């Protein structure tokens, strides 16, 4: 039996990954983290429907003996969901390399994801796959661009946005990650050169179409901002924005960003728990509908101006499943020994261009998630 360790396996994203992987036969699925009660509760709730063997485990990734404890499990694959990844070092992927385990994370931190290539030689020497950022971005977002890239002779701009519904479940780690750069400078490729913008500023309204409608957006820091300009030879701009459905909450965040920009508040992240608690009072408002949009602009193969707009719609509060799908697809491939055979995953790499967009379709259908394309 192959052992799969899910760090933070009872968290907002971890529990969704565990729920899916528990349907795989002949694996031991270890739900690991610092709260054994939550881990055990998830094992109990899934026990009756799971075909995998489930085990709870107390483990602290920051403990001095973490690498030894992980090695004692002889894992085939480790999935790291314990964010926020801002400020984390590479102790977890390094421990995986040392014990010969494959590794996948859902990191959204630009430096963590982009610099994972520093472990490439070590990972290749051990023959393991180390993949960072297997989430909505850059995992799914790059799959969308890869699908349409061949239709362009050159790409002028890539603009990405995500708009979750207000009733979608909030993960503390995700909120803490966003607050860590709210009002801080973000280096982006804009107007054909690298320049700074500020986190959760440049607020605007985007129309996602009839299903979701108009949503507020503001600057968010993601690995795509650094990875895509070079990979896709973008001439002018790569942008990423996200927003809150309720205008009051969104504008409050913009105000917080301004206070940080002018130096009155150094970092909002330490107030994450209080801010999440306060936002929960607004849960009855808004909707459970979310959207993701990828817009590619450039020159078509015939020298014509070309634009592709790909829009994904998530109903019934299913938006939080989307960040887990890249990891689930990769994990399933590794467990079936497909990923390495395809030669797409070697050593340590950001999760860019590792999928066909069609690989998500089965999961989208199960979650009633739909997407549409508009080509002009």
Q: Note the pLDDT of residue 322.
A: 95
One fold for 2-135+320-355 and 137-314: no
Q: Note the pLDDT of residue 241.
A: 97
> What CATH code would you report for 137-314?
3.30.360.10
Q: Is the dihedral of CA 134, 137, 140, 143 positive or negative?
A: negative
Q: What is the mean pLDDT of residues 370-376?
A: 94
Task: Look at residue 181 and give its three-state secondary structure.
Answer: helix
Confidence of residue 341 (pLDDT cuts 50, 70, 90): low
pLDDT at residue 342 is higher than 60: no
d(C-alpha 299, C-alpha 98), whole Å: 46
pLDDT at residue 343 is higher than 50: no
For residue 191, how many other CB atoms are within 10 A of its CB?
Answer: 9
Condensed to tens digits (0 to 9), the pLDDT of residues 182-195 reads: 999 999 999 999 99
Lookup: tokens for 32: 């690991």
Q: Among 240, 172, 226, which residue's Cα sits nearest to residue 194?
A: 226
What Rg value do the Cα atoms of the chain yield, rounded? 20
2-135+320-355 topology per CATH: Rossmann fold (3.40.50)
Q: Which range (216-220, 226-230, 289-293, 317-321) has the least confidence?
A: 317-321
Condensed to tens digits (0 to 9), the pLDDT of residues 128-168 reads: 999 999 999 999 999 999 999 999 999 999 999 999 999 88
d(C-alpha 306, C-alpha 342), whole Å: 32
DSSP state of 90: S
Q: Where are the domains of the chain?
A: 2-135+320-355, 137-314
pTM strictly above 0.85: yes
Q: What is the mean pLDDT of residues 206-213?
A: 90
Q: Among 73, 81, 118, 117, which residue's Cα sits nearest to residue 99?
A: 73
Q: Which range (58-67, 198-207, 328-337, 343-352) has the least confidence?
A: 343-352
Q: With 0-12 CB in 10 A as exposed, 13-18 as middle and 19+ as buried, what is 302?
A: exposed
Q: Note the pLDDT of residue 87.
A: 85
d(C-alpha 35, C-alpha 39), whole Å: 6
Residue where the block lists tokens 């690989």: 359
Percentage above 90 pLDDT, the chain: 87
d(C-alpha 263, C-alpha 269), whole Å: 15
Task: Look at residue 294 and give its three-state secondary structure.
Answer: strand
pLDDT at residue 173 is higher than 90: no
Q: With 0-12 CB in 10 A as exposed, 13-18 as middle and 19+ as buried, what is 244?
A: buried
Task: Look at residue 333 and give its three-state secondary structure.
Answer: helix
């Amino acid at each position: 039996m192959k052992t799969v360790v899910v760090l933070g396996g009872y968290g907002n994203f971890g529990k969704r990954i565990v729920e899916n992987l528990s349907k795989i036969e002949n694996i031991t699925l270890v739900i690991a983290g610092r709260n054994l009660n939550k881990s055990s509760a998830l094992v109990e709730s899934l026990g009756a429907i799971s075909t995998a063997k489930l085990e709870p485990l107390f483990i602290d990734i920051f403990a001095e003996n973490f690498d030894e404890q992980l090695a004692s499990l002889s894992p085939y694959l480790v999935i790291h969901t314990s964010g926020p990844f801002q400020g984390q070092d590479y102790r977890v992927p390094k421990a995986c390399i040392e014990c010969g385990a494959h590794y996948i994370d859902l990191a959204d931190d630009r430096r963590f994801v982009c610099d994972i290539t520093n472990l490439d030689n070590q990972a290749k020497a051990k023959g393991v796959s180390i993949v960072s950022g297997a989430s909505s971005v850059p995992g799914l977002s790059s799959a969308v661009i890869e699908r349409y890239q061949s239709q362009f002779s050159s790409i002028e701009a890539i603009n990405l946005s995500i708009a979750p519904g207000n009733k979608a479940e909030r993960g503390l780690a995700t909120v803490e990650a966003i607050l860590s750069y709210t009002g801080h400078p973000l280096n982006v490729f804009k107007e054909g050169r690298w320049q700074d913008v500020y986190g959760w500023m440049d607020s605007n309204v985007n129309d996602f179409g009839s299903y979701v409608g108009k949503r507020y957006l503001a600057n968010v820091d993601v690995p795509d901002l650094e990875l895509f300009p070079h990979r896709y030879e973008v001439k002018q701009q790569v942008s990423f924005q996200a927003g809150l459905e309720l205008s009051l909450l969104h504008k409050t965040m913009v105000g917080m960003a301004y206070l940080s920009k002018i130096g009155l508040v150094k970092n909002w992240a330490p107030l994450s728990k209080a801010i999440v608690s306060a936002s929960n009072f607004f849960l009855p408002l808004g909707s459970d509908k979310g959207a993701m949009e990828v817009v590619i602009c450039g020159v078509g193969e015939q020298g014509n101006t070309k634009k592709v707009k790909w829009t994904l719609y998530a109903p019934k509060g299913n938006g939080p499943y989307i960040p887990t799908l890249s990891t689930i697809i990769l994990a399933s491939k590794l467990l079936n020994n497909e990923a390495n055979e395809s030669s797409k995953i070697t050593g340590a790499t950001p999760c860019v261009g590792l999928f066909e967009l069609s690989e998500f379709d089965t999961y989208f259908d199960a979650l009633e998630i739909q997407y549409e394309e508009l080509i002009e």
